[in-house]
Structure 1
Amino acid sequence: MTNKRLLYVTAFDDRHGKRRWRFRRKGYPPYSFKSPHGTKAFEREYAACLNADQAPVASRPSIPGSVSDVIARYYSDNAFLDLRPSTQGVYRGVLERFREAFGDVSIKAFDADRIARLMTAMRHKPHAAARLRKLLAQLLRLARRSKLVPVGFDPIKDTKAPKTEGGGYHPWTEEELAAFENEFPVGTKPRLAFDLLLYGAQRSGDVRLMTPAIIAGGRIRLDQSKTTNSVDIPVVAPLQVSLDAGPLGRVTLMETKDGEPYTEKGFYGMMKKACIKAGIPHCSPHGLRKAAARRCKDAGCTNEEGMAITGHKSEKEYLRYAGSNARPEVADAAMNKVMANRTVRLASTPSQPIEKRA
């Protein structure tokens, strides 16, 4: 990373003559780096800056007690300021869309009935609905504290977000994995993203911002952006073949045709189009991490071995590591089981193309 020019990052000397670095990109919040250039910590800060793709904050005056007023107060509250930059970017995106629709409406108008109707209108987007409901709870908590609504005004507790069908994103089956591999051979961008997601077993947000420094020496070493959990797992043979074939970006492994790191929406859109072309439109990149976890279970991995690969803290927050939770020796054992099971499965199952779905 130290030998490569980072997009949107420039150096300058401060008034003490010390070299500093800053991030500047149109439409993104400016940022001054806290960690020394070239370090892992610097790299994490850079990833967070790239991840903060949000709409600009409205600058017109807010009506006191309105949704826009409460959102502005929330942005300057510790509940928001203590969040990671990447999480702030995601939350701003949700809140700015909500502000655009309801900015001048009084926060008092969002009683249980109105919030319930909002949740019903978003049944086709259950994850987005749940996130909005969570943020509305934050706004209403701040509104109560600021005496913008009565102390007992807590309509969130009387509402429910729509249930996610099937318990979340669809986990890919072996037939669906084979369909994608048949459609996109090694050496194509969708296949590289697919192999990073499946054999790296990490979230899309971490995969799309991976740099060569994260995958070095035959291992994937990173602190997950969502949980800060550390993972240290081997780069298995199928993934190494895919990395060797590319195409690799200049700064991040996955880059757009313009040479820029993918945004969250851009990466999802690229993979979703590939899924449709492969005849599996119901699949999404998020489900590949589930497929990786399922493969661990099918291979006989223990919970500890599986979590060393995926980076989960626990099945249900029951297993936590003291200090550094990267477990390279446990991850190696788990990956060996997964690859051995894959070899047995390939030897015993004839290759059959999956019928494309309309």
Structure 2
Amino acid sequence: MKSRRRSTLPKYVSVEVDAKTGKSYVYFRRRGRAKVRMLDPPYSDEFNAQYHRLLRDEAPSKPAERADVVDGTFGWLVAQYYGSAEFKRLEARTQRVRRSIIESMLKEGVAAGGRGIAFADVPLEKMNGKAVRTLRDRKAFDEDGERTPEAANGRVKALRQVFAYAVADDDIALNSNPARDIPYLAPDGDGFHSWTTEEVRQYEARHPIGTKARLALALLLYTAQRRSDVVLLGRQHVRDGWLVFTQQKNKRRKPIHMQIPIVPALQAVLDRSPLGDVVWLVNDLGRPFTANGFGNKMRDWCDQAGLPHCSAHGLRKASATLLAEAGATEQQIMAMTGHTTSKEVNRYTKAARKKVLAEQAGELFKGHKM
């Protein structure tokens, strides 16, 4: 027997709780149509796509094809890539971001200043390393002259994927990947600022337990997850004191299944906080946050606490740093964060490791007399 209840979900969507197992299921139920189970967490990109298809009573749409491309050009290759399995298996948000990056390159002119023939019309044999480097370097600085290596590297990453598809595809059979050996630009500093213990305490003093702001901090800090995962966490993910879920990043391509303990500090905040029905964190309208919406709200909460340089992602770094300072191994940290290689973990924790090593080195001076 299942009990059904409505919450802050979109129209026609409801949650059903199995009385025997206690598990929650989300369904799209519209009069005159069969009930459809929603396959992804509410308000995720995949959920929204399925929901709007059901509203329109449509089958999944196919990627739009470019009607003005010439065979054998870069624009033609991109059209093939959009229709490929490699592109389709990307997460919906990743598809949108990659399309945006690629489309901006297609429209640019080859000549200096972005004039002349567009890159979309360049023959594939002329899309060489020089062309890739040109496209990268045009995004190395913004209009104010500030370095923007992330934007430049985003282009290189997208081009590597497009040309990798062309090399592997038997019908295209490109001889080599011209973007493969074009290096990424070095990032500025260490990326997002990692919160210090003092900054966490300052935030907590401004946002006491019982506020959404404090709940957000606790979820980010004590789970070490990205904001795209934190906004979807809820009671349906709790199993005997553990959080069991699949990370949103690369969920369709390379899913990372997580099992992390609900530590006492997090449980204490959950017990004393207002929680949503389906997800714990909800916005002022009682609906789940989008990842970007949550990032913006976290920005407001940080500003209110006098921490304009802090961010949601910086708490993920802080969590890894705290674990490193406590003596956690790389494998232990990776088990919490979901990283599959130690490269990113090392970038997060190198300062903490240096501090621990310096402390150990300092011990060697104890007892030394001049």
Q: Sort the TM-score into its range (normalised by shorter chain).
A: 0.5 to 0.7
Q: 1:94 aligns with which of 87, 92, 98?
A: 98
Using the alignment, how far apart are the partners of 1:148 and 1:64 within structure 2?
16
Contact 2:237–2:245 under 8 Å retained in 1: yes
What SS class does the counterpart of residue 221 from structure 1 fall into? strand
CA distance in 1, matches of 2:175, 2:331: 44
1:223 aligns with 2:223: no
- 1:121 and 2:107 correspond: no
2:67 equivalent in structure 1: 61
Distance 1:235 1:150 in 2: 50
Check 1:45–1:302 CA distance in 2 against 1; reply closer, same or farther (3 A cut).
Answer: same
Supply the distance in 2 between the matched residues of 1:148 and 1:103 (Cα, whole angstroms).
25
Once the 2 structures are TM-superposed, how far is the Cα of residue 199 of structure 1 from its aligned partner?
Answer: 0.8
- CA deviation after TM superposition for structure 1 residue 198, in Å: 0.2
SS of the residue aligned with 2:301?
Answer: helix
Are residues 1:21 and 2:21 paired? no
Equivalent position of 1:329 in the other structure: none
Which residue in the other structure is 1:309 paired with?
A: 336
Matched, 1:188 2:201: no
Question: Which residue of 2 is the match for residue 241 of structure 1?
Answer: 268
Aligned residues: 292
1:11 pairs with one of 29, 34, 57 = 29
Matched to 1:164, the amino acid is P
For 1:67 and 1:201, how far apart are their aligned partners in 2?
A: 40
Is residue 2:176 matched to residue 1:173? no
**Aligned partners of 1:172 and 1:288 also within 8 Å:** yes
- String of CA shifts for 1:186-227, please: whole Å, max 9, x gaps: 222222111101011112111111122113543212122225
Match of 1:270 among 297, 302, 305: 297
Aligned-partner SS, 1:213 = helix
Pairing partner for 1:299 from 322, 326, 345:
326
Q: Secondary structure at the match of 2:293?
A: helix
User: Structure 1 residues 97 and 151 mapped into 2: Cα distance closer, same or farther (>3 Å)?
Assistant: closer
Is residue 12–residue 21 contact of structure 1 (8 Å, CA) maintained in 2?
A: no
SS at the partner of 2:342? coil
Q: Does the CA-based 8 Å contact 1:51-1:89 persist in structure 2?
A: no
Q: Is the 8 A contact 2:29 2:36 kept in 1?
A: yes
Task: Name the aligned partner's letter for residue 286 of structure 1.
Answer: H
Indicate conservation of the 8 Å contact 2:219/2:266, yes or no.
Answer: yes
Change (3 A) 1:2 1:197: farther
Provide closer, same or farther for how the CA distance between residues 231 and 149 of structure 1 changes in structure 2, counting only shifts above 3 A.
closer
Change (3 A) 1:128 1:217: farther
Which structure has more relative contact order (CA 8 Å, sep 6+)? It is 1
1:212 is matched with 235
The alpha-carbon deviation at position 3 of structure 1 amounts to 4.3
Answer whether contact 1:220 1:233 (CA < 8 A) is retained.
Answer: yes
Q: What is the rounded CA distance, in whole Å, between the counterparts of 2:3 and 2:80 in structure 1?
A: 39
Match of 1:261 among 288, 291, 306: 288
What is the aligned partner in structure 2 of residue 78 from structure 1?
85
The TM-score with structure 2 as length reference comes to 0.65
Give me the TM-score of the superposition, normalised by structure 1: 0.67
Q: Is 1:106 equivalent to 2:119 in the alignment?
A: yes
| CA distance, structure 2, for counterparts of residue 135 and residue 209 of structure 1 | 27
Deviations 1:257-287 (A, max 9, x none): 2333222221111112222332222222112
User: Structure 1 CA distance, aligned partners of 2:185 and 2:80?
Assistant: 28
The aligned residue for residue 49 of structure 1 is: 46
The higher radius of gyration belongs to 2
Shift of 1:60: 7.0
Give me the whole-angstrom Cα distance separating, in 2, the residues matched to 1:136 and 1:2: 50
Name the stretch that deviates more: 92-101 or 150-159: 150-159
Q: Which runs of 5+ in 2 are unaligned?
A: 14-27, 51-61, 109-117, 346-370
Q: Indicate if the aligned counterparts of 2:136 and 2:155 stay in contact, CA closer than 8 A.
A: no
Cα distance between partner residues in 2 of 1:93 and 1:225: 15
Distance 1:272 1:58, change over 3 A: farther
Change (3 A) 1:300 1:184: same
Quick one: structure 1 residues 307 and 147, their matched pair in 2 at CA, closer, same or farther if it must change by over 3 Å? closer
What CA distance in whole angstroms lies between the structure 2 residues aligned with 1:93 and 1:61? 22
Name the structure 2 match of 1:323: none
Residues 1:134 and 2:157 are matched in the alignment: yes
Q: 1:147 to 1:302 in 2, by over 3 A?
A: closer
The worse-fitting range, judged by mean Cα deviation, of 308-317 and 165-174 is 308-317
Deviates most, 146-155 or 185-194 = 146-155
Aligned runs of 1:143-162 on 2, under 5 Å?
151=174, 154-157=177-180, 159-162=182-185
Q: Secondary structure at the match of 2:136?
A: helix
Give the letter for the 2:262 counterpart. V
Cα drift, residue 77 of structure 1: 0.3
Determine if contact 1:208/1:261 at 8 Å carries over to the other structure. yes
Kept in 1: contact 2:40–2:46 (CA 8 A): no
